[in-house]
């Protein structure tokens, strides 16, 4: 029964075939045989392996950096102008001086800060009267141990300490098992995820306590020096333009440098590492063996190729996190701003060396890591941050003066109307 149905179907579907007797002598019959064989070939062509996977894009990440950095510097310029005008008015109302300098504004802020810290100390003393007499000196001493260095530090150093506290808070979140899925999704930047905001959030993310401590020590040192340079560049580039604080300027620089470092690493992965990986996986050497059935073909595409892609991507394309890129920007800008400075390791203790020699050795190590393909550190992010620091040392101060001046001019126009 089934055999007769098959013969009837073939009789209706196959074209006429009249060359059976001349199979080996007629070219026309051979062409007819080829036409018959084409009926059994698939009517579609399987898409290529690389085309099925697609390619990661960088457009959204570039736009995120451009608009995010512009927003950060615009807000920093506006906030700096606002606070500068506020402190200048307070100083003008309390003194008879006609010539007010940026140093006068910072001195007034310092006096106000010490006054507030003393107020908090008096409040602690009042509350400590309710605890045993033996513990009161310990409470007061603990507060003074933190308040005195905070009062003596510059604006930039205080900001670096706050950034370190934020990094420590993110590290604590990493150690809460319930938050692990959210931390992996939102505080690590994976170039294949398609996300953009993780280029910023990953800047504050550290999973290892060693990584956290090393970056915080470097940020406290080089970040405060970079902030001092930004303040000095303001005074030297535009002496007539007052500035009460450089903290907002440094914060915008730090955030933009961190995002730019992540963008460089993302771009290298999306445009070079990933295509090279896919090319290697789809090469004839890695191609699967001949497949007899369509079911086997579908199985090969969904299991063999996917498994190979997963294993290769896991070893060569990994997510990144950490503040190293932003810190490298502070390092290179500090080295260019203070070429006669010296640096030394805190842990382990070492002899001081010239800052440009030490920074040059760090950059050479990252270049070697790129050449050798080392994966312990994100060397491309380090180099991207270093490049941002060099570029900002060259063009940043002038751009900052322009942005602050544009904000003042816009406000003047609005008041005139």
Q: Is the pLDDT of residue 399 over 60?
A: yes
CB 189 within 8 A of CB 320: yes
> Which carries the bigger pLDDT value, residue 356 or residue 32?
356
296-355: per-residue pLDDT in tens? Answer: 555 555 555 555 555 555 566 788 899 999 999 999 999 999 999 988 877 777 788 899
Least confident stretch, 235-244, 279-288, 347-356: 279-288
Let me know: does 406 contact 76? Beta carbons within 8 Å: no
Instruction: Give the model's confidence band at 237: pLDDT under 50 very low, under 70 low, under 90 confident, else very high.
Output: confident
* Cα 360 from Cα 355, distance rounded (Å): 8
Q: How far is CA 32 from CA 91, 170, 317, 358, in A?
A: 100, 72, 52, 78
Residues 223 and 221: their CA atoms lie apart, in Å, by 6
* 243-279 tens-digit pLDDT: 999 999 999 999 999 999 999 999 998 888 877 777 7
CB–CB of 223/327 below 8 Å?
A: yes
Q: What pLDDT score was predicted for residue 372?
A: 86
- Which domains are assigned to the chain? 58-90+153-282+320-416 (1.20.1540.10)
- Report field, pTM of the whole predicted structure over 0.75: yes
Q: Using CA atoms, how far apart are residues 82 and 88, in angstroms rounded to an integer?
A: 10
pLDDT of residue 132: 84
Cα 67 to Cα 188, 197, 248, 330: the distances in Å are 21, 12, 17, 22
Here the tokens at position 306 are: 């996917």
How do residues 143-201 score in pLDDT, each as one tens digit? 999 999 999 999 999 999 999 999 999 999 999 999 999 999 999 999 888 899 999 99
Location of structure tokens 């003008």: 92
- Can you read off the two tokens belonging to residue 336? 């260019």
Q: Which ranges constitute the DSSP H helices of 238-342?
A: 247-268, 274-281, 294-299, 306-316, 324-337
Residue 214 in this model has a pLDDT that exceeds 50? yes
Above pLDDT 70, what percent of the chain?
A: 74
pLDDT of residue 30: 42
pLDDT for 219 equals 96
DSSP code, position 343: E
What is the Cα–Cα distance from 20 to 141, expressed in whole angstroms? 107
412 burial (CB, 10 Å; 0-12 / 13-18 / 19+) is exposed
Q: Is there a cis peptide before residue 348, judged by omega within 30 degrees of 0?
A: yes
Mean pLDDT taken over the chain: 82
Q: Is the pLDDT of residue 87 over 50?
A: yes
Contact 215, 323 (CB under 8 A): yes
Range 71-76 contact pairs with CB under 8 angstroms and sequence separation of 24 or more: 72/251, 72/252, 72/255, 72/256, 73/252, 73/256, 73/399, 73/400, 73/403, 74/403, 74/407, 75/248, 75/252, 76/248, 76/249, 76/251, 76/252
Return left, alpha or beta for 205; rule: phi > 0 is left, psi -120 to 50 is alpha, else beta.
Answer: beta
């Amino acid at each position: 029964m089934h055999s007769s149905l098959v013969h009837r179907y073939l009789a209706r579907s196959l074209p006429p075939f009249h060359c059976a007797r001349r199979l080996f002598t007629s070219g026309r019959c051979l062409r007819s045989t080829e036409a018959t064989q084409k009926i059994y070939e698939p009517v579609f062509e399987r898409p290529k392996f690389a085309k099925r996977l697609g390619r990661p894009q960088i457009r959204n990440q570039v736009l995120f950096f451009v608009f995010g950095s512009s927003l950060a510097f615009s807000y920093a310029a506006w906030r700096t102008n606002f606070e500068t005008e506020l402190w200048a008015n307070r100083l003008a109302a309390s003194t008879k001086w006609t010539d007010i300098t940026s140093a006068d504004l910072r001195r007034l802020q310092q006096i106000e800060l010490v006054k507030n810290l003393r107020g908090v100390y008096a409040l602690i003393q009042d509350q400590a009267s309710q605890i045993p007499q033996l513990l009161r000196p310990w409470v007061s001493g603990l507060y003074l141990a933190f308040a005195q260095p905070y009062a003596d530090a510059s604006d930039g150093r205080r900001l670096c300490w706050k950034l370190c506290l934020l990094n420590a808070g993110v590290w604590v979140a990493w150690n809460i098992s319930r938050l692990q899925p959210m931390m992996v999704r939102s505080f690590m930047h994976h170039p294949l995820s398609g996300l953009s905001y993780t280029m910023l959030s990953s800047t504050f993310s550290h999973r290892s306590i060693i990584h956290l401590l090393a970056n915080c020590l470097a940020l406290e040192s080089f970040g405060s020096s970079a902030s001092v340079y930004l303040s000095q560049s303001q005074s030297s580039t535009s002496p007539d333009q007052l500035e009460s604080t450089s903290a907002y300027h440094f914060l915008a620089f730090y955030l933009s440098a961190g995002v730019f470092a992540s963008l460089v690493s993302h771009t290298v992965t999306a445009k070079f590492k990933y295509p090279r990986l896919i090319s290697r996986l789809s090469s004839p050497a890695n191609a699967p063996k001949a497949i007899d059935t369509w079911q086997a073909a579908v199985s090969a595409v969904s299991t063999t190729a996917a498994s190979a892609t997963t294993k290769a991507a896991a070893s060569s394309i990994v997510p990144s996190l950490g503040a190293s890129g932003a810190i490298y920007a502070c390092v290179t800008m500090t080295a260019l701003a203070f070429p006669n400075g010296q640096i030394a390791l805190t842990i382990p203790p070492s002899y001081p060396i010239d800052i440009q020699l030490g920074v040059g050795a760090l950059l050479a190590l990252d270049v070697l890591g790129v050449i050798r393909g080392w994966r312990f550190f994100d060397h491309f992010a380090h180099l991207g941050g270093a490049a941002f620091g060099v570029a900002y040392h060259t063009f940043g101060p002038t751009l900052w003066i322009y942005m602050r001046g544009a904000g003042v001019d816009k406000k003047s126009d609005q008041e005139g109307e």
